[in-house]
Structure 1
Amino acid sequence: MSFVKVKGILRQHLNLNLNKSIQVQISSKSFSSTITITPETETESGVLRRRVTGSRFSLYRQILVDLRLRLRLQLQSGKYFSTSSTSSTRRVGLTLKGEGEGKGEGKVMSMSTRNKNKAAMAVAETATGTETETEMATAKSPLVTASPAVPPAAASATVTAKSPLVKAIPPAGKRKASSTPEPIGTINGTTKKAKVSDDNHDLSELRQPHHSAKEAEEYGIVLRKYYPHEMCNPRAIAYNNNELPRPIELLHSALEETKEERTNVPGKDSVVHWFKCDLRTKDNKALRLASEKAMELGVPLIAMYVISPQDFEAHLTAPVRVDFILRTLEILKGDLVKLDIPLYVETVEKRQRAPGRILELLEEWGTSHLYANVEYEVDELRREARMVRQCLEKGIAMDVVPDTCVVSPGELASGQGKQYSVYTPWFKTWVAYVHENSHLLDLFEFPGKNPPSARKKFAKLFETKVPDAPANKSLTDEEKKRFHSMWPAGEHAAQERLTKFAKEKITQYQEMRNFPSLNQTSCLSVHFASGTLSARTAIRTARDHNTTKKLNAGHPGIQTWISEVAWRDFYKHVLAHWPYVCMNKPFKPEYTNIVWEYNMSHFNAWTQGKTGYPIVDAAMRQLNYSGYMHNRCRMIVGSFLAKHLLIDWRMGEKYFMEHLIDGDFASNNGGWGFSASTGVDPQPYFRIFNPLLQSEKFDKQGTYIRKWVEELRGVEGKAVHEPFADGKASGVARERGYPERIVEHKGSRERCLGRYKEGLGKGK
C-alpha cells in the first residue's frame, strides 16, 4: 500500500493529515516491531475498509484490524515472540502520529471486556505485501501503535480492549484426516460450542480444505477448473468474525481510496456504460449517470456487453437463460440505436482475460469514464475492486454504483449494529428505511440521445452483431421455438408483464400464490435475474396500485407481493455480508458436519421427475420443459432431495442453476438453504415436508400433476396424489410406466432426523 493511501485512511478516520512519514509499531510487553511508511514506501494491494459504523470501540477495532490485515503484514517464520494473559481486562494502546499537519485533537475510548483465554502473539520484524487473502494474519485484536519517525503533531486514541489473539504460524505440514466435526460458528461475529480459539485457528488451517471437499469435487459441486477446494469451517467463521475482508469491503475501499483521483480525471473522447445484469434503458442508475457524464463532457456514450463462455460455465448459467440474455441484447441494441448509442458486444473466451480486454477497448475508444452497476457475487465484487484501480492507472475513472436492490446491502443494521440474519426484522427495518427515504423509489430517466457525430465517429461499433450462444450453452431449434414463445425477452416484455399482473392479479396474490395450477404469480423473476426490470420499478408500480403509499399497509395482496420482492434484496444482503455462501458453504457452517449421500440413482430419478411422488415429479418435469418452476414447488422438491433422499443440497442448487431461466445465485442459494435448513432464516431442520400432504393441499384437484405427469392423466379423483394406494389407479399408473416411490415418507423422515441430529450434535 502506498503512503498516500495510508495517509488518506488516517485522515478519514482520525482527522489526521500526515504528509511525511508514519511508523507502525506492533508491540506487547515482551517485544516490539516497527515498520516505517513514507512516500517512497510501496507494498502491494493494500486495502482498507471504508465504512465507519457502530460503537466507538468498533471504530477503534476497525482501524486496528485495517492497519494489520489491510496492510498485508505477512508473518515470517522463525521470528516469533509470545505472551499470555489471564486477566479479566487488558489495556492496549493505539497511537496514530506522524510528521505533518495534525488536525485531530485526539480521542479517548474505553471498553471493558472479560477474556480469560490464553492469548498468543506472533509478529515478524519485516512486513511484505501479498495479493493472497489466505496469507494474511488473522488475529482478532493485535496491539498496534503508529508513532512518528520525528517529533510529531499529536493525536491519539487509547482503549481497553480484548486480549490479542494471534497464533504463530507453525512449520508447514500435512493435515491428518479426522472424523472430528469442524467448529461451529455463529453469524454475529462470535462462536458457540466448539469455539474457534487461536489454538485451532491459524493461517495454515484456514488454507485447509473441508473434510468433504473430495465429494464436492467428485460430484461437480465445486468446479476446480475455476475455483479452489471447498473451504474449511474456520475460514467461513473468520469471515463471520471480521477477520477476513469481505469482497464488498474491497470494492468500497477501492472506490473510497481513489475517489479524489477519479473525480479529477479529465474528459476524453467517450464515456462507457458496461451492461451486465441490468439489460434495460429504463430506471438504470449507472446508465443514466454515464449518460449525464457524456452530456456534461460533450462526448458520445458507448454501451458494451462482454460475453464470457467460461463465466457461463463457472456460474452454471442455464442454456435457456443464455438464450434469453442474447435475445434481450438484440432488443436492447435496437432501443439504443434509436438514441444513436452503440451497443458493442464481444465474446472473450478466457474469463481472466475479460478485464484486460475491456481496458484495451476503453483505451481504443478514448474513454475517460466507465460506469457499471454493482453485482454482489464474490467473483464480480473482486473483479470490480481490481478494475477500479487498474482503470485509474490508465487515466480512466471507473464508477461502480448500487442499483439492483432498493436498499443497498449493508445499509440496514440492528440496534446492536449487527447485520440481520432473519428476514422478518430485516423487512420491518427495510420498510421503515424506504418510508424515511422516499427517493429510493424514484426512477432514473432514460439515457439522453448521443450527438449525431457519434454514428460517424464510432461507425464500426454500430455494425457489430450479437453473437450466437457458446457451443456449451446452445439450444436446439425445437427448444428455441418453445422458449421464445413461453418467455418473450427484453424490457418491453417485462413492463407488459408487470402492468398486466398489477392490473389483473396482484390483489389476489396473497390468496392464490401457493397454488401452482392457477397461474396467479407474476413470473417476473426471469426479468429481475437478467435486469430487464428493476426492483424499484416493480415496487413503485405495486405501491401505485395500492390504496396507500405505505409498503406494509393497504391491500393484503399488494403488501404480500412487495414483501416477496423484498426477499430478493434480503438474499443480496446475505451475499454481501456472508460471502462464503458464494463459495459452496452453507450459511450455517455447522451443517457441513451432516453426512450427505451421493446416490446417483436417486438423484437421477429426482432430476427426471420419476420419484413416485406425483407433486415432486410434476415440478421437476415443469422445470425441465419450461426452464421455470413455481415457488411452492421449489420448496417441495428442495425439501424432498435434502431430507427424504439426504442428497447434498448443493447438487440440487447446481441443477436448478443449470436449468432455470430465472437463475439468480442469491435467490437460488437462499431458497435451497431454506428447504435444506442450512441457510439464512430457514425452516427448522425437523420440519420435513410430507409430499402427499403438500400435494393434497396445494394441488387439491390434481390439475398441476395431470398437466405435467402424462402417465397419471387417466387417474381420476384424489388417487392422483397417491396412485399406488388405489387399486384402479395403480393399474393405470403401472400400465403407463409411472414408477413406484423410491423411498417411503415415514422411514425417510426418521432417517433424516437422526442424520441431522448426529451432524449437529443434538441430544448429546
Structure 2
Amino acid sequence: MKIEHLVWLRNDLRSIDNPALYHASKQGKVAVVIAITPQQWKEHNESDAKTGLRAGLIQTLSESLATLGIPLHLIHAEKFAQLPDKITQFCLENGIKHLWFNHDLPVHEQQRDQAVFEALKKHNIATHIQPVDLIVPQTVLSQQGTPFKVFTPFFKRWVTLLAQQDITPFPAPEPQSEPIEPILLDLNWSKPFREDLWPADQDIAKQRLWQFCHHKERHYQDGRDYPIQPATSTISPYLALGALGSRQCLEAIFYTCDQEERDWQDSIWLKELAWRDFYRQLMGHFPLLSMNQPFKPDTNLLRWRNNQDEFHAWCEGKTGFPIVDAAMRQLNQTGWMHNRLRMITASFFTKLLFADWRKGEAYFMSKLIDGEFSANNGGWQWSASTGCDAVPYFRVFNPTRQSEIYDKTGDFIKRFVPELAELDSKSIHNPSSEQRTSCHYPAPIVDYKSARLAAIAAFDELKNLP
C-alpha cells in the first residue's frame, strides 16, 4: 500500500475531530507519526503524569487507527531541534510527499514547525498546516484589528464568531484498508500516572464529556467552586493532550442545551472553554509570554521575597493553612487540582509569600497531568497581578475565609490533610495552637494581615518608579 500523506500529531492525539488527519485522508492513503521528545518536555516542565497519560493515549490511538488500516509510527528525538532532520529522513525513506499537521501557538512550537517546513521544502515535500486547535480557530480581534487584552469583550466577539461557524466535529477517516496489526511501540519513556482517575482511552474521554454535559453542565455554576463536590468535568487532561477536540465539546454543549431548551450562549462551562481559547491566542499575539516574561513589563521590577523554606513548605502542603495544604497535597497525589484551589494556592504563593509567580508556575507544570502552558501561565499571571486581565493587585485572597466559604464542612481538608480529620467544621479551617500541636500540624508560615499589606505596598511602589 503506497502512502504519500503523513499526518504529524502532537497535542492532538485523536482520530475524531482532527482537521489534519481528516483532510489528509481525503487526499489519499495516510500514515501517522508522533515525535517523542523527552528532553524537550522536561525543559518545558511537563509532568511525569502527563507523559504517562500521553504514552497511554498513543498506545490506544495506535490500536484504533490500526482498525482503519492506518499505521502509527514514532520518531524518537531528545529535543525539537532534531526533528527537521528526523522527519525529513522519515519522509524520504518512506516515499512521503505531503506532511500534514495542525498549527501550534507557543514560540518554541512555531519555531519547530517552521524549521520542519523549511527542511522538507528542500526536498520538494509539501507541508499542509491546518488551523490551530481552538474552538474559534480564526484570530479573534477587536474592531480596530488588535488583540483583546480583556476577556469580557473578547468573549462577546468570540461568541459572535462561534455562532457563525460550523461546529460539527470532523469524522474519523474512512477505513483505507483491512485492519492491520498495530505497530509495536517503544514506550519505555512512559511514566506512572493515575490511570484510575484518567484512563488512557479516547472513548472514555468522550463518554465523560457527554455524561458531564447531560448531568452536570446545567448546574456547573452552582457547584464549580466547591472542591468536595464532583461538579466539574475533569476532562482537562484529555483536552491538554488532544484526546478530545474542541468541536466535540461544542457538540455536547449545543446538543444538551437544545434538549433542555436553553440558550447555549448562557453556558458557564462554555465561558470556561473560552478562557482557554483566550489564553492560547495570547500566546500567539505576545511571544514574550512564552519567554518567562510578565504581560505587564513594569512588574518585572517587583522584588519577590523567594524564601526557600516557605517555597518547600508550600510545595509539600505544610504551610499551616489547611485549605492550601489540602490543595497542594491533592496536586502532588493525583496530578490535578480543582480550579478554585488553583486560585487560592497561587494567590497565597504570589501575594502572601510574595514569591515569584514563575516558580509557582513551573512547579504546577511539573506536577499537573492537565498542564497546558498557556492556561497555566495565564492563571498564574492572573493571580500574581502581572498578566492580561489579571486580578487587581490589592485583591488578596484570605485562605481561611476561602476555606470557610468553599469547604464549609471541611470535608475536602479532611480528605487530603487527614491529621486534622477529627477537628470540627469550624476549627478545621484555622486550628488553634493547641490543636495544631495535638494533631502534629504546623503553625502558619506567614501572617495573613501583615503579608497582605506588604504585598500591596510592593505593588504601590511601582507607581512611583520612573
TM-score category of the 2 structures, normalised to the smaller one: over 0.9
1:761 aligns with 2:431: no
Tell me the equivalent position of 2:425.
717
Deviation at 1:524, TM superposition (A): 1.1
Distance 1:324 1:334 in 2: 16
1:415 corresponds to: 143
Which structure is richer in relative contact order (CA contacts within 8 A, separation 6 or more)? 2
Cα displacement string for residues 137-178 of structure 1 (whole angstroms, at most 9, x for unaligned residues): xxxxxxxxxxxxxxxxxxxxxxxxxxxxxxxxxxxxxxxxxx
Counterparts of 1:546 and 1:648 in 2: how far apart (Å)?
42
Where do 1:520-535 residues align within 5 Å?
A: 520-535=231-246
Cα deviation for residue 408 of structure 1 reads 2.5
Q: Is the 2:81–2:112 Cα contact (8 Å) retained in structure 1?
A: no
Per the TM alignment, residue 550 of structure 1 is displaced from its structure 2 partner at its CA by 4.6
CA distance in 2 between partners of 1:712 and 1:485 (Å) = 26
Q: Which residue of 2 aligns with 1:328?
A: 57
Structure 1 counterpart of 2:22, one-letter code:
R
CA shift, 1:438, in A, is 2.8
1:100-499 equivalences under 5 Å are 269-294=3-28, 300-408=29-137, 411-435=139-163, 437-439=164-166, 441-452=167-178, 462-469=182-189, 474-475=191-192, 480=193, 483-499=194-210
Instruction: Please name the residue that 1:552 is paired with.
Output: 265
Are 2:333 and 1:630 aligned? no
SS where residue 293 of structure 1 aligns? coil
The answer on whether the counterparts of 1:639 and 1:688 sit within 8 Å (CA) in structure 2 is: yes
1:736 corresponds in structure 2 to 439
CA distance in 1, matches of 2:429, 2:366: 28
Q: Is the 8 A contact 2:99 2:127 kept in 1?
A: yes
1:614 touches 1:721 (CA, 8 Å); kept in 2? yes
Match of 1:155 in 2: none
The answer to whether the aligner puts 1:572 opposite 2:280 as a matched pair is yes
1:700 pairs with 2:392: no
Encode CA deviations 1:517-563: one digit per residue, 9 max, x unaligned: 1110001111110000012211221111114585324xxxxx10100
Structure 1 residues 760, 291: CA separation in 2 closer, same or farther (over 3 Å shift)? farther
Q: Give 2:419's aligned amino acid.
A: E
- CA 331–737 in structure 1, closer or farther in 2 if over 3 Å, else same: same
Partner in structure 2 of residue 18 of structure 1: none
- In 1, the alpha carbon distance for the partners of 2:275 and 2:245 equals 14
The alignment partner of 2:118 has SS state of: helix
Q: CA deviation at 1:564?
A: 0.6
Deviation at 1:350, TM superposition (A): 4.3
1:595–1:759 CA contact under 8 A, matched in 2: no
Counterpart of 1:510, as a letter, is Q
Tell me the amino acid that sits aligned with residue 447 of structure 1: P
Distance 2:291 2:122 in 1: 30
TM-score, normalising length: structure 1:
0.59
Match of 1:662 among 370, 373, 381: 370
Equivalent residue in structure 1 for 2:359, among 643, 648, 651: 651
Could you tell me how far apart the structure 2 residues matched to 1:379 and 1:522 are?
A: 30
Matched residues in 2 for 1:451 and 1:608: separation? 52
Name stretches of at least 5 consecutive residues in structure 2 with no aligned partner: none
Identify if the C-alpha distance between structure 1 residues 761 and 491 changes in structure 2 by more than 3 Å, giving closer, same or farther.
farther
**Residue correspondences, number:** 463
Q: Which runs of at least 4 in structure 1 moved beyond 4 Å after TM superposition?
A: none
- Does the 8 Å contact 2:336/2:369 carry over to 1? yes
2-side partners of 1:525 and 1:595: how far apart?
34
The alpha carbon displacement at 1:278 in A equals 0.4
Q: For residues 195 and 3 of structure 2, what CA distance do their matches in structure 1 show?
A: 39
| Structure 2 residue aligned with 1:191 | none
For the 8 Å contact 1:344–1:464, the answer to whether it is kept is no
Query: For residue 299 of structure 2, what is the amino acid of its counterpart?
Result: Y
Letter in 2 for 1:566: A
Report the CA distance between 1:345 and its aligned residue: 1.5
Shift of the alpha carbon at 1:490? 2.4
Shift of 1:386: 2.5
**Deviation at residue 413 of structure 1 after TM alignment:** 1.5
2:350 equivalent among 635, 642, 660: 642
In structure 1, how many angstroms separate the alpha carbons of the residues matched to 2:421 and 2:40?
41
After TM superposition, give the deviation of residue 681 of structure 1 in Å: 0.6
**d(CA) in 2 for partners of 1:538, 1:270:** 32
Gaps of 5+ in 1: 1-267, 295-299, 554-558, 725-729
Change (3 A) 1:750 1:395: same
Q: Which string of whole-angstrom CA distances, capped at 9 and with x for unpartnered residues, describes residues 493-533 of structure 1? A: 21011011111111110111000111100011111100000
- For residue 485 of structure 1, give the secondary structure of its aligned residue in structure 2: coil
Q: What SS class does the counterpart of residue 723 from structure 1 fall into?
A: coil
1:646-691 superposed Cα distances (whole Å, 9 cap, x missing partner): 1001000000000000000000001001111111111101100011
CA contact (8 A) 1:543 1:549 kept: no
Equivalent residue of 2:174, what SS?
coil
| Counterpart selection for 1:620 from 318, 328, 334 | 328
Superposition deviation, residue 403 in structure 1: 4.1
Identity of aligned residues (%): 36
Partner of 1:543: 254
CA-to-partner distance for each residue in 1:324-353, whole Å, 9 max, x for gaps?
A: 000001100100010111111132134421
Question: What SS does the corresponding residue of 1:658 show, helix, strand or coil?
Answer: helix
Q: Is the 8 Å Cα contact of residues 329 and 466 (structure 1) preserved in structure 2? A: no
CA distance in 1, matches of 2:307, 2:279: 30
Contact 2:408–2:425 (8 Å) recurs in 1: no
Q: Distance in 1 between matches of 2:377 and 2:183?
A: 39
1:608 equivalenced with 2:286 (yes/no): no
Question: Who is 1:581 aligned against?
Answer: 289
CA 1:466–1:761: 2 relative to 1, 3 Å: farther
Q: Which runs of structure 2 are paired with 1:498-509 in the superposition (5 Å)?
A: 498-509=209-220
In structure 2, do the counterparts of structure 1 residues 760 and 372 end up closer, same or farther at CA, with 3 Å as the change threshold?
farther
CA distance in 2, matches of 1:351, 1:426: 32
Q: Could you give the per-residue CA deviations for residues 6-25 of structure 1, whole angstroms, max 9, x where no partner exists?
A: xxxxxxxxxxxxxxxxxxxx
Residue 274 of structure 1 aligns to a residue whose secondary structure is: strand
1:487 aligned counterpart, secondary structure: coil
Distance 1:321 1:283 in 2: 21
For residue 26 of structure 2, give the secondary structure of its aligned residue in structure 1. helix
Residue 118 of structure 1 corresponds to which residue in structure 2? none
Question: Following the alignment from structure 1 to structure 2, what is the Cα–Cα distance between the partners of residues 350 and 696?
Answer: 46
